[in-house]
Structures are given as C-alpha cells and as structure tokens.
C-alpha cells in the first residue's frame, strides 16, 4: 500500500514537470540528423550545434510576476498640485519636487496662507512708507516676492528698494482705473478689463485678457471679459509713450478693492539707482584686482560693461586642469582652492603599494583675485583645478566677449596678466603631499594610542560614570538652585 502511494506521488510530480515541457521543440530535438545512435557511432558538428540551440527551448520558463505597486494617492492635502504638470507625469521619486509643489500650493493665489499674508500687508500699507518700521519693510518685501506678477519682472535689488515706497489705494465698486502710469496688484476685491489689454511687461509686451486669466474669481457667463481676483496684477511699470492713448490699460472694479500700487516714476528712479550701483560695484571689483590697478579708467569701463554676476555653491568646479577656461573670473566674495594632480604611491592592505593620481592643494584665491586670463587669451589648457572652497560670488566675462574687445585692451591683457601659481614646482607638490600624508598618519596613530591607553585603564568616555555634563551647565544649574533657595528663605 505504501509503495502504491509513493508511485502515485512520483506520477503527480512527473505530471507537474511534464506540463513545463514544450513538446514541439522536443520533437524537433529528437528529429535532428547526425546525432550519435546505434547506427551512427559519432555525432557530427552541425548536429551538435543544433542540439545545443534547441535543448534550452524545450523547457517553458514561467514569467515572473512581481508584486503590484500601489497607485499614487490622489486625495488628501495638496492633491491639487501633486497631480498636475510634470510631477504627476514623471512619477519621480525625488521628494524635493513634491515639497516644492506643496510650497507653491501654500503660496498660490486664493490659498489661506496667501490671503493671510495679504491681510498683514494691507495693515502695514495703511501707514505711509516713512512711518513703517524696518521689520514691516521686510514683511512687505517678502510678501512682494511671493506675488509672481511682481517678482517675475523685478530683480531682487529693485524689489527690495521698491518695497519701501509702495502704497495702498482704495477704490469703490464700479470705479474706472487708468493704469497707464502705475502698476497695481489686487490685495482685496476683483476687477474686469475694459480694454483689449490690461497689463504691459517690462519687455514691452501687452497682455490681453483672453491670453491670460488669473485670480480666484469665477467668470460669469453674463460678462464677456474675464474677472481677475486676489493676487492679479495690471498696469505697467514703465510709463507708456505720450503718443499712446490713456485708455490703453483701463479696468473697472467689480467690488470695493484695495490695491498695492507701484508708481512708474519710482520704478524708473530705482532702476537707474540699482543700475548705477551695479556699474560702480563692477568697476570697483575689477580695479581691486592686482593686475588691473594701473589700467586706464576708459578700458576698465569697457570691461565692466561685459561683466556678469554669478553665484556658485561650495565645491563647485570653476576651472579644470587640462581644459580651456570658459570665462575670466573676478572673485567678489568667498574663497577658491587651487589643486594640481600628481602621481603618488598609496599603501594598500597587506603592504602592497599602488600608483594613484592625487590632488594636492597648491594655494587659495581670495576676494580681489582673478583667474582664467591666460587660458582664455592664449587658448592654452589650465594648469590647475579651481574649486569653490566656500559659497562664492563672481563677476565673470565670457571668453567670446573677451576676444570681441578692442585690440588695445587685448594688448593691455598681454602686458599685465600673470599665470596664477606659476612658481609652484613638482618638488613643492611632492613635499606638500608627503607633509599632508605624514600629518594624517600621525593623527591616526595618535588616536589609536590614546584609545588603547584609555581602554587599558578602564576608561570609556561617554559611558557609565565617564559620562559627564558640561561644567558650565552644572555651574549654572547649581547657581540657579542656590538663588531659588535664598529667595525662598527670605
């Protein structure tokens, strides 16, 4: 009886295995001519190759079924932003994308956070600019940065200075506002354009109501024009030419409205002041560099006109060794580290020595230094790698702009520029590398000796009785307890 059950089990196993065999391929395998048999003592080469190709095909491989991935949750907090645009389409796993989407959802027009900021702004703007405190000026500046219609057109310096001059205007329902000389932002209420265009950008483009709709107000079917609500902007920062009619940018208020007003006169004044300060800062930066202190002022002005401001984070590679520099840089703030690569022997486990390329620090560049002139002018690869040791701000002039300067300026470059770190020799690099590695090895050895000595004496820092609070904090706690005891006694 036990033998019958065992035989039935073997048959069931074989049936399961037989279900995974492709019998068509098995018949093709058996019909191969030239295989070894009782008639043919040897297998031919062609038959052998066909057998190797056909044999794996007789076994059916089951497709692996992976566990299902749950669908993205679309209901809940901030789902309005997470399901739209590129975030929902790309299905990225980068959490910073979703955090930025949540921030935008909080600051978009119509959100409770945005309306709360505007209510605080309205209270501040009820004061005249001269009576506002520095903290209130800062709140106005930060709130204006959130309003995209303003921040998209103004630089940070212009925005910061204009935030100290903006005022509030109140208009009753049904009022007609001519915005050909001012720029307005809706803080409360809504409006409807009366003309084809309602806004003009700094670039000179007119925006029509049909091309762009904004705000939180809904469009009623009884009115042909779009309603614009809280956070919407209209008007122009640059005044319209005198030839244009004053009714080019005209709106009507649909309810009692409060506007933030930026005067075109104030904008032009601020724009001129910021441009003047920027020009002076560029000239002072170039003049502070040692190679340019004796340049004629006329040529410094031409260089300053080509200068652009750029900011780079720490460890950003500004210039690579063996490659052409893309620009000439003038350091305004921060520190840059210069490295050169040398071959060095590195000790591996089991005492094996291997040759590796190592970067050696050869010097630093500080504010008032420049780099890249030799590589750009002579079209020669850079002799060192330059990295930002700290966050740096540079004034840069692109290589194409340098070659487009007057011949007199290019001659001045040839006469005054000097390669950076030209006195560093290969022996100096070897000495610096050996000194650095020796110091590192000594620090490691010292640390091991100190730990062994403490362990030998049964001292475990930070554990048990060797765990102590800072002496100053203990002294302060003790003093506070004594003062409390004295006051209670009195």
Are 324 and 382 in contact by the 8 Å Cβ rule? The answer is: yes
pLDDT grade for 1, boundaries at 50, 70 and 90: very low
Distance CA 321, CA 372 (A): 11
Condensed to tens digits (0 to 9), the pLDDT of residues 218-272 reads 334 344 467 888 888 999 998 887 777 567 888 999 999 999 999 999 999 999 9
User: Which among 389, 424, 459 is the end of a domain?
Assistant: 424
Residue 72 DSSP class: P
Residue 227 lies in a domain: yes
Total residue count of the chain as it appears in this document = 490
Indicate yes or no: pTM above 0.75: no
In a shared domain, residues 365 and 457: no
Domain identity same for 118 and 265: yes
**216 neighbors 229 (Cβ within 8 angstroms):** yes
**What is the rounded distance in angstroms from the CA atom of residue 473 to the CA atom of residue 463?**
19
Residue with tokens 């209420």: 189
List beta partners, residue 361. Answer: 339
Please report whether residue 8 resides in a domain: no
Per-residue pLDDT at 475: 54
Is 186 found in the same domain as 154?
A: yes
Give me the mean pLDDT over the 415-431 stretch. 76
Domain ends where: 70, 87, 105?
105
pLDDT in tens, 52-106: 888 887 777 766 666 655 555 444 444 444 444 444 444 556 666 666 555 555 4
- Closest to 382 in 3D by CA, of 390, 371, 393, 392: 371
Q: Say which residue, 147 or 420, is predicted with more confidence.
A: 147
464 falls within a domain: yes
Q: Distance (Å, rounded) from C-alpha 377 to C-alpha 404?
A: 11
417 and 366, same structural domain?
yes
DSSP string across 41-70? SS--HHHHHHHHHHGGGGBPPPPP-PPPPP
Collapsing DSSP to helix, strand or coil, 248 comes out as: coil
Helix (H), strand (E) at residue 300: helix 297-306
- Among 189, 188, 187, 192, CA closest to 176: 192
Rounded distance, CA 181 to CA 236, Å?
6
Per-residue model confidence as pLDDT tens digits over 108-123? 555 788 888 888 999 9
Give me the half-sphere count of Cα atoms (radius 13 Å) on the Cβ side of residue 390.
10
Same domain (yes/no): 125, 202:
yes
Query: 67 in a domain, yes or no?
Result: no
Q: Specify the CATH number for the domain of residue 258.
A: 2.60.120.10
**Which single residue is written with the structure tokens 């609500």?**
229
The CB-side HSE value for 268 (13 A sphere, CA atoms) comes to: 9
Same domain membership, residue 381 and residue 326:
yes
Domain count, the chain: 5
In a domain, 264, yes or no: yes
Q: Which structural domain, as residue segments, surrounds residue 168?
A: 112-270
pLDDT at 430 over 80: no
Same domain, 255 and 116: yes
Q: Are 177 and 227 in the same domain?
A: yes
Tell whether 236 and 320 lie within a shared domain: no
pLDDT at 450 over 90: no
Q: Is residue 83 part of a domain?
A: yes
Task: Report yes or no on 468 lying in a domain.
Answer: yes
Same domain, 127 and 252: yes
The runs of H, that is alpha helices, within 385-468 are 399-403, 407-416, 426-456
Note whether residue 469 is domain-resident. Answer: yes
Same domain, 44 and 164: no
> What pLDDT digit, counting tens, does each position of 375-394 carry?
888 888 888 889 999 999 99
Distances (CA, A) of 392 to 292, 324, 373: 21, 21, 19
147-158: per-residue pLDDT in tens? 888 988 988 899
Same-domain check for residues 83 and 41 = no
| Residue that terminates a domain, selected from 424, 453, 469 | 424
């Amino acid at each position: 009886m036990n033998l019958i059950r065992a035989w039935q089990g073997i048959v069931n196993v074989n049936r399961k295995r037989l279900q995974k065999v492709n019998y068509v391929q098995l018949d093709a395998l058996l019909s191969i001519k030239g295989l070894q048999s009782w008639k043919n003592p040897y297998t031919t080469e062609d038959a052998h190759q066909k057998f190797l190709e056909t044999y794996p095909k007789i076994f059916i491989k089951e497709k692996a079924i992976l566990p299902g991935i749950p669908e993205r949750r679309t209901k809940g907090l901030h789902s309005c932003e997470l399901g739209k645009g590129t975030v929902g389409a790309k299905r990225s796993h980068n959490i910073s994308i979703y955090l930025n989407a949540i921030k935008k959802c909080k600051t978009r027009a119509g959100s409770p956070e945005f309306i709360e900021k505007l209510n605080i702004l309205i209270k501040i703007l009820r004061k005249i600019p001269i009576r506002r405190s520095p903290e209130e000026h800062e709140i106005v500046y930060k709130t204006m940065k959130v309003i995209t219609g303003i921040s998209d057109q103004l630089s940070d310096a212009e925005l910061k200075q204009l935030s100290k001059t903006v005022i509030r205007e109140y208009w009753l329902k049904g009022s007609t506002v001519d915005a050909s000389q001012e720029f307005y932002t809706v803080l409360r209420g809504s409006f409807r354009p009366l003309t084809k265009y309602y806004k003009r950008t700094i670039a000179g483009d007119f925006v029509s109501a049909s091309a762009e709709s904004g705000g939180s107000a809904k469009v009623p079917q009884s009115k042909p024009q779009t309603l614009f609500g809280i956070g919407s902007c209209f008007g122009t920062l640059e005044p319209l030419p005198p030839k244009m009619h004053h009714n080019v940018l005209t709106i009507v208020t649909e309810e009692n409205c409060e506007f933030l007003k930026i005067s075109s006169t104030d904008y032009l004044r601020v724009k001129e002041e910021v441009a003047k300060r920027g020009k002076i800062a560029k000239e002072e930066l170039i003049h502070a560099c040692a190679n340019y202190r004796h340049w004629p002022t006329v040529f410094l002005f031409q260089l300053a006109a080509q200068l652009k401001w750029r900011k780079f984070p720490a460890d950003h590679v500004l210039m690579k060794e063996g490659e052409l520099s893309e620009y000439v840089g003038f350091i305004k703030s921060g520190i840059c580290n210069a490295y050169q690569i040398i071959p060095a022997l590195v000790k591996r486990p089991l005492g094996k020595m291997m040759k590796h390329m190592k970067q050696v620090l050869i010097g630093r560049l500080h504010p008032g230094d420049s780099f890249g002139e030799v590589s750009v002018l002579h079209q020669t690869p850079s002799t060192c790698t330059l990295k930002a040791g700290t966050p740096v701000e540079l004034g840069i002039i692109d290589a194409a702009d340098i070659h487009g300067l007057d011949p007199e300026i290019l001659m001045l470059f040839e006469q005054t520029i000097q390669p950076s770190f030209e006195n560093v020799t290969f022996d100096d690099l070897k000495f610096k590398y050996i000194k650095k590695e020796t110091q590192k090895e000594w620090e490691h050895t010292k640390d091991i000796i100190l730990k062994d000595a403490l362990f030998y004496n049964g001292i475990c820092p930070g554990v048990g009785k060797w765990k102590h609070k800072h002496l100053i904090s203990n002294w302060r706690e003790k003093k506070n307890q004594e003062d409390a005891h004295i006051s209670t006694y009195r």
